């Protein structure tokens, strides 16, 4: 010990004695030591019991409850198709109540158990600490040893420990850095989840092309071919299953769908060679509580045209089944909507806005309130929004148009023409302009929306209104013999209507002045298309009439397919794709 002249720093023997001896004396004589140990034991045992009970409770929450919840989910799925099943409803309510009671009871037990556990641990700690006061740790300095060597050894070991820590950190960093990183700018990454306008306009992604207007961006399409002799026919490929839907083109792929009672299929053809690249099978969703589906003779299984966003292709069938495939033919998702209640069979084609797949699902009578407009997320197939429509069944297809700075989904059903905001389905405007069995789809030209009431009238609507615009936003209307099937086509000056019986009429877009009409003396079901200054009209017999888009009628060419046609043609760079009743044709030059 270090000695000092200062008397206050001297340690008296008594002081040392107190440090060494006092605990020994207390330990030997205290009667409370036993109590302290007993307290600790009681606390420990109680803690253990409560802990086991808490773990059991937690186990029940993790294992038993999820099973019941799964059962409830199944019942909820069933109730969708049987909404009037009271027994099922009652079972769902009972099970739901049972689950809630169990969960709340378990939560309550968990909470009370936590308090109990805390309390028993406190008792345990008090007991142990109390017992420890009677067994104080005696100072026990180590034997005197070579301090110098020991301290040197400690320093060496400490340096190695730090170096080992450094190595461990380095190894950890290496391990973390090993997996391949995702490079957002990589070649494989698509930079957008939906196509931009330029991309859309270069292709023919839906019924009647970009925007559903029937206008081709490519004007270098053929004007002369003969399907019987093969002149101008690049290729011709049999389509496996029948359908009235029109070809859809994206890049070097052409898409169609077909269906029969056994299969609903989507086809992908090579645009250059006509080879069938893949066939996608859309699974029919089981609907045990519905009547077996019978396709209508007019429309069959596959009247609606598919739609593509350049990443995926989507198809809907008359059964209400929707399928989505990637461009390699992999089935990404399917949805089974309720079988549409449609007098002539469901025929509305699909539309897209950004990543949203738009389905105009008009059915039944107006008072049935079954009709709706549905937006599905193209990537996952999940419903993003759904809006009820106050219309009866129709066979028109929606279009998406940019009106001013906003996009509108414009729909035609009996008796309303309704515009919706595509992002959330909010109604923008509606007008009671049409009625009857509506099949011609609307178009947007020269800042006006055109809707047709078959046999009766053509209406031009200003789409900048809000709410009910029936009385305020009609630009003009003409009451004339109007088409019952074919949709119109127009540009900034002229609009062309084509009736099923072959009457072609030309109006002035600005005010509805009729310029001319011409009876082509044949039947048409395909809608007319505008290619530059020409109008292409495809008859049921497969004759393509090419007319000048002018204020006077002038026929430019007439070409024969050699096969009946009901579907509207699709246009690409230097090519036309036409679906006949049995084959898909590519018309153009061998090398575009």
Least distance in Å: CB of 429 to other proteins? 21
Provide, rounded to whole angstroms, the least separation between the CB of residue 95 and other proteins: 22
Bridge pairing between strands 583-588 and 457-461: unpaired
Phi–psi pair at 503, nearest 5 degrees: -85, 120
Which residues 6+ apart lie within 8 Å of 517 measured at CB? 503, 504, 505, 506
CB of 591 to other proteins, least distance (A): 33
H or E element: which one contains 56?
helix 32-81
Nearer to other proteins, 387 or 558 (CB): 387
Residues 6+ apart with CB under 8 A from 107: none
Cβ-based nearer residue to other proteins, 19 or 551: 19
Q: Which of 590, 535, 540, 533 is nearest to 567 (CA)?
A: 540
Residue 17 vs 238, nearer CB to other proteins: 17
Closer to other proteins by CB, 398 or 483: give it. 398
> Looking at residue 454, what DSSP letter applies?
T
Q: How far is the CB of 192 from other proteins (least distance, A)?
A: 5
At 18, give phi and psi (nearest 5°). -65, -40
Beta carbon nearer to other proteins, 356 or 475: 356
* CB closer to other proteins out of 133 and 456: 133
Give min distance, CB of 106 to other proteins, in A: 12
Instruction: Using alpha carbons, select from 375, 381, 255 the residue that is nearest to residue 310.
Output: 255
Question: CB of residue 467 vs other proteins: minimum separation in angstroms?
Answer: 25
Which tokens hold the place of 352? 């897209």
**Cβ closest to other proteins, residue 80 vs residue 147:** 147
Q: Which is nearer to other proteins, 82 or 192 (CB)?
A: 192
Q: How far is the CB of 187 from other proteins (least distance, A)?
A: 11
Helix (H) or strand (E) holding 263: strand 263-270
What residues contact residue 480 under an 8 Å CB cut-off, 6+ apart?
Answer: 457, 458, 505, 514
As separate numbers, helices (DSSP H) first and strands (DSSP E) second, the chain gives 5, 34
| Cα–Cα distance measured from residue 98 to residue 88, given in angstroms and rounded to the nearest whole number | 15
Q: Are 488 and 535 in contact (CB under 8 A)?
A: no
Burial code (b: 16+ CB inside 10 Å, e: under 16) for 485-501 equals: bbbbbbbebbbbbbbee
Minimum distance from CB of 135 to other proteins (Å)?
Answer: 11
Asked if 230 and 288 count as a contact pair (C-beta separation under 8 A), the reply is no
Alpha-carbon distance of 448 to 492, in angstroms, equals 10
According to DSSP, the residues that pair with 105 across neighbouring strands are: none
Using CA of residue 287, residue 207, residue 432, residue 343, what is the dihedral sign?
negative
46 vs 89 by CB, closer to other proteins? 46
Kindly tell me the burial class for residue 502, based on how many C-beta atoms sit within 10 Å of its own C-beta (0-12, 13-18, 19 or more): middle
* Closer CB to other proteins, 192 or 219, in the complex: 192
């Amino acid at each position: 010990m270090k000695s000092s002249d200062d008397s206050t720093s001297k340690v008296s023997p008594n002081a040392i004695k107190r440090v060494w001896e006092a605990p020994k004396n207390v330990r030997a004589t205290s009667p409370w030591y036993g109590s302290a140990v007993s307290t600790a034991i009681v606390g420990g045992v109680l803690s253990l019991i409560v802990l086991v009970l808490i773990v059991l409770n937690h186990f029940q929450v993790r294992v038993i409850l999820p099973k019941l919840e799964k059962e409830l989910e199944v019942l909820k799925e069933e109730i969708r198709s049987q909404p009037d099943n009271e027994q099922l409803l009652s079972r769902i309510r009972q099970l739901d109540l049972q689950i809630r009671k169990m969960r709340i009871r378990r939560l309550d037990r968990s909470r009370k158990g936590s308090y109990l556990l805390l309390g028993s641990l406190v008792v345990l700690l008090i007991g142990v600490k109390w017992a420890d006061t009677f067994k104080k740790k005696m100072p026990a300095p180590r034997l005197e040893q070579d301090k110098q060597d020991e301290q040197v050894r400690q320093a060496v070991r400490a340096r190695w420990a730090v170096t080992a820590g450094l190595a461990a950190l380095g190894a950890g960093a290496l391990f973390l850095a090993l997996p391949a990183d995702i490079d957002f700018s990589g070649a494989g990454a698509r930079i957008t989840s939906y196509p931009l306008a330029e991309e859309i306009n270069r292709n023919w992604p839906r019924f009647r092309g970009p925007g559903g207007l029937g206008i081709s961006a490519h004007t270098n399409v053929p004007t002369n071919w003969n399907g019987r002799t093969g002149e101008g026919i690049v290729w011709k490929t049999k389509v496996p299953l029948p359908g009235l839907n029109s070809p859809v083109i994206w890049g070097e792929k052409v898409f169609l769908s077909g269906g029969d009672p056994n299969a609903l299929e989507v086809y992908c053809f090579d645009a250059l060679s006509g080879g069938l690249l893949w066939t996608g099978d859309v699974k029919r969703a089981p609907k045990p509580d519905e009547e077996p589906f019978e396709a209508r003779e007019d429309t069959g299984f596959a009247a609606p045209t598919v739609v593509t966003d350049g990443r995926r292709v989507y198809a809907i069938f008359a059964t209400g089944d929707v399928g989505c495939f990637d461009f390699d033919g992999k089935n990404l998702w399917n949805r089974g909507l309720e079988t549409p209640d449609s007098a002539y069979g469901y025929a509305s084609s699909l539309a897209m806005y950004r990543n949203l797949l738009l389905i105009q699902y008009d059915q039944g009578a107006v008072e049935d309130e079954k009709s709706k407009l549905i937006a599905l997320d193209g990537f996952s197939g999940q419903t993003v929004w759904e809006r009820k429509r106050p219309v009866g069944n129709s066979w028109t297809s929606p279009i998406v148009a940019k009106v001013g700075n906003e996009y509108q989904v414009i729909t035609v059903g009996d008796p309303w023409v309704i515009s919706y905001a595509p992002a959330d389905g909010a109604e923008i405007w509606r007008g009671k302009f049409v009625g009857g069995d509506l099949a011609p789809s609307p178009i947007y030209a020269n800042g006006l929306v055109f809707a047709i009431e078959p046999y009766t009238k053509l209406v031009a609507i200003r789409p900048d209104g809000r709410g009910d615009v029936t009385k305020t936003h009609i630009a003009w209307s003409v009451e004339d013999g109007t088409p019952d099937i074919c949709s119109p086509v127009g540009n900034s000056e002229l609009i062309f209507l084509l009736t099923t019986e072959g009457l072609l009429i030309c109006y002035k877009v600005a005010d509805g002045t009729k310029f001319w009409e011409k009876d082509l003396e044949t039947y048409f079901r395909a809608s007319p298309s505008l290619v530059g200054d020409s109008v292409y009209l495809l008859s049921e017999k497969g004759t393509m009439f090419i007319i000048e888009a002018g204020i006077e009628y002038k026929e430019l060419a007439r070409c024969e397919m050699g096969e009946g046609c009901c579907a509207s043609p699709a246009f690409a760079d230097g090519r036309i794709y036409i679906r006949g009743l049995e084959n898909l044709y590519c018309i153009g030059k061998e090398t575009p």
